[in-house]
A and B are shown apart, each in its own frame.
Chain A
């Protein structure tokens, strides 16, 4: 039914070569009731984790972070310090894992690659006219190639929301296909910028189109707009991932980015993930947090769990 080439090794995140037609993708499209979806997300947020599961959850969340800096004023110095924190978030505790990746603008990639040499932390970069995506397709493809050549292991692209909102879905799809091709061995995250799409119906549709075009991960937001990641939007995207997986066996990852600042929220996301896709998805290979200040709150909560005392933010380095 769908022309697909699935090359995917479970457990790792070797890039999948997978493409379906838009028609196939949209066959799975259906409405999403906003009221009910938000309620379901809210009830999942009330799940309570205690003791062991919580400590594990906090550490898992740390290992899922794409530690991010995307500022006009980023410099090699800033990026270098961030990479140290990424590799060893808590020097005093060897049980605290490293984060999944460091995410930066293309020109910072060489400095990140240098700083992370020998570590297991991946080099991730945004590309394709981030964050607006309002530039020409061939420029986006070129930028992707150059960023991968500079050393990026992962590319976070943005979809063309203007095309999506004006009904040019084919254009959105074609760009994902082209950028995926330009990624080569690097793996591709496709940012939907859900805060601009307007409805959960649109989020589902965009998710299905992005997956069809070859996304390895779908991602909520650039973090430059508001609202960014929310529990219900994440739930909606996870349901799309689940439906594609049920139908084709393909594994697509999820990244919730922007606005997730507290450990409490991070655990809520993990609960939503767990109840929607099951324990197999509880790995940095299939779920990421796009965040910066979240890391310190996770460290703070971990220390509180260990000592039983409420901590102060002053105890943790800013980078």
Chain B
């Protein structure tokens, strides 16, 4: 047989096989120049007469002005909620259910618009806000709508009744989704709410107010008060609230718990974490790498349950780290509105500083830093995906929550050692276990002191699945049948 070399007609390649920008159309959402507070079903100017700008962290451009709610504003909101509670709690549960179903439907109908707003205001990639945040937000309302008229089945033998007015404070990492986690169960149980979105991400909450208008939510059932930490403090100090639900930093959570000491206010907290992602040598290797990447780089690592500590079995450390670094090099950091972006902007300059400081400490304490080559945009706040190897348990980067795209790699030898290291923290929100051996996943799950254990997966959420922490990661559960309990009292 002759030589098989055949001269081919070459197809001339472009300079690089690059995904050309694929921007989601920004025009789908339009913001008001200025938003008031949403109280009693209306937009109202703040009595404080103070406003501030909300900025797009990927471009540093101001998006809109929002109100800084003062003490009087917060009091008015609570009054409106109390007023509305009288009728809302007495409404037929099946009718309350229908209101919530409507909210779910409107969220689905306006999903794209809200996803773009979320990415602009918060910095997360459109791929995530479109495929994760919005669908889950709608799903939470669907799920809890169905419980509104079935509470007697959720708590057999007990007579559940609503608590009253719930004060709810949500963070900036999943603004609309966290709002859904708070509002859906609260309303389903017959409560009314005053919700304070995070200072840097108020816009989707304010758009949610418009969703409430479309769904014909009765005035005062949902109230939105924007502002910074001071607004949150006023809200928690209000006398006429029956419940506080807070998701945010452990530090603020403790402050709230102190504030409520001695008061008759029900409290749930969802705080920080320093989750261990535990990888055994018999794992499905390539999928474990995906899971590690998802665990810490999804949402720029701004996730309370992020897998920020990789505990890898020593026997496969080198091989895994090699694969991980190669995979990190394919992560695309950039414009949140670009559909090809994997990692978006850091939410604020303050957060960027915190991340940088901790990363610096990692270097100083002797860990080895790696970042794939990454061209970061000129404007905006960005941090390249980062991994530290040679990390010791005592390093700050292994103990403190960084809340950024920074992974610390540690090793272990046996399952017992993995459990010990994973539990050796004041946090206890989540953990991941990677092994093809089913019994070991269950054995680990049994012993891990965390509220969520992901086996061969990570960062999975569902409205029917209860979520919450052990220890200083907080108490109370959101999602599932158990997520109803914090919003009810039982005679």
Contact = CB atoms under 8 A, between A and B. Distances in A.
A, B from the same assembly: yes
Interface of A: 12-15, 30-33, 35-37, 39-40, 46-54, 56, 59-60, 63, 97-98, 120, 122, 148-149, 153, 184-187, 239, 274-275, 279, 282, 284-285
Contact of B4 (A187, A275, A279): A187
Nearest to A246: B322
Interface string B442-461: 00000000000000110000
Contacts of A97: 9, 11
Contact of A56 (B2, B11, B291, B340): B11
6 contacts: A49-B20, A56-B12, A120-B6, A185-B3, A186-B1, A284-B8
Nearest to A36: B287
Given A32-B284, A50-B20, A15 B436 contact: no
Contacts of B285: 30
A35 B220 CA distance: 44
B18 A53 contact: yes
A50 B17 CA distance: 11
Given A30-B282, A50-B21, A63-B11, A35 B457 contact: yes
A30 to B, nearest CB: 5
Given A120-B6, A120-B8, A48 B1 contact: no
B436 A31 contact: yes
A50 B14 CA distance: 12
B9 A63 contact: yes
Nearest to A151: B1
A19 to B, nearest CB: 19
B378 interface: no
Given A30-B284, A33-B456, A49-B22, 11 more contacts: A14-B4, A36-B287, A40-B287, A40-B290, A48-B340, A53-B14, A59-B11, A98-B9, A149-B1, A185-B2, A187-B4
B206 to A, nearest CB: 29
Contacts of B21: 50
B1 A184 contact: yes
A32 B286 contact: yes
Contacts of B16: 279
B359 to A, nearest CB: 27
Tell me which of B13, B282, B291 has the highest count of chain A C-beta atoms within 10 A of its own C-beta.
B13
Given A48-B19, A50-B22, A53-B19, A33 B1 contact: no
Contacts of A12: 5
Given A47-B340, A48-B340, A185-B2, A32 B287 contact: yes
Given A31-B284, A36-B284, A51-B20, A15 B4 contact: yes
Nearest to B329: A278
Contacts of B421: none
A12 to B, nearest CB: 6
Contacts of B4: 13-15, 122, 153, 185-187
Given A12-B5, A40-B290, A52 B284 contact: no
A36 B13 contact: no
A101 B457 CA distance: 41
A282 B17 contact: yes
Interface centre among A33, A275, A282, A285 (most CB of B within 10 A): A33
B11 A49 contact: no
Chain B: interface secondary structure?
loop
Contacts of B287: 32-33, 36-37, 40
Contacts of B330: 275
B270 to A, nearest CB: 26
B127 interface: yes
B157 interface: no
Contact of A122 (B6, B282, B339, B457): B6
Contacts, number: 101
Nearest to A271: B19
B369 interface: no
A31 B20 contact: no
A63 B287 CA distance: 31
B373 interface: no
A91 B22 CA distance: 32
Contact of B17 (A32, A39, A53, A153): A53
Contacts of A52: 14, 20
B7 interface: yes
Contacts of B9: 63, 97-98, 120
A185 B1 CA distance: 6
A122 B6 CA distance: 8
B283 interface: yes
B457 A36 contact: yes
A285 B10 CA distance: 11
A180 B62 CA distance: 65
A184 B3 CA distance: 10
A51 B14 CA distance: 11
A51 B19 CA distance: 10
Interface string B431-448: 000001000000000000
Contacts of A39: 290
A288 to B, nearest CB: 13
- What are the 10 closest A-B residue pairs judged by CB atoms, nearest first? A48-B22, A36-B287, A50-B20, A33-B287, A33-B284, A31-B436, A31-B284, A185-B1, A184-B1, A48-B339
A213 B334 CA distance: 44
Interface in B126-170: 127
Contacts of A36: 284, 287, 290-291, 456-457
A117 to B, nearest CB: 12
Given A153-B4, A274-B17, A279-B16, A60 B284 contact: no
A46 B6 contact: no
Nearest to B436: A31
A285 B283 CA distance: 33
Interface in B449-485: 456-457
A281 to B, nearest CB: 10
A40 to B, nearest CB: 5
A185 B6 CA distance: 13
A289 to B, nearest CB: 14
B189 to A, nearest CB: 34
A47 B19 contact: yes
Nearest to A282: B17
Nearest to B22: A48
Contacts of A185: 1-4
Interface in B11-52: 11-14, 16-22
Contacts of B1: 148-149, 184-186
A187 B3 CA distance: 11
Contacts of A63: 8-9, 11
Contact of A120 (B7, B127, B284): B7
A59 B21 CA distance: 20
A20 B179 CA distance: 57
Contact of B286 (A37, A46, A284): A37
A58 B144 CA distance: 47
Contacts of A56: 11-14, 17
Contacts of B127: 46
A52 B13 CA distance: 10
Nearest to B3: A185
A17 to B, nearest CB: 14
Nearest to B131: A46
Given A15-B4, A49-B19, A60 B286 contact: no
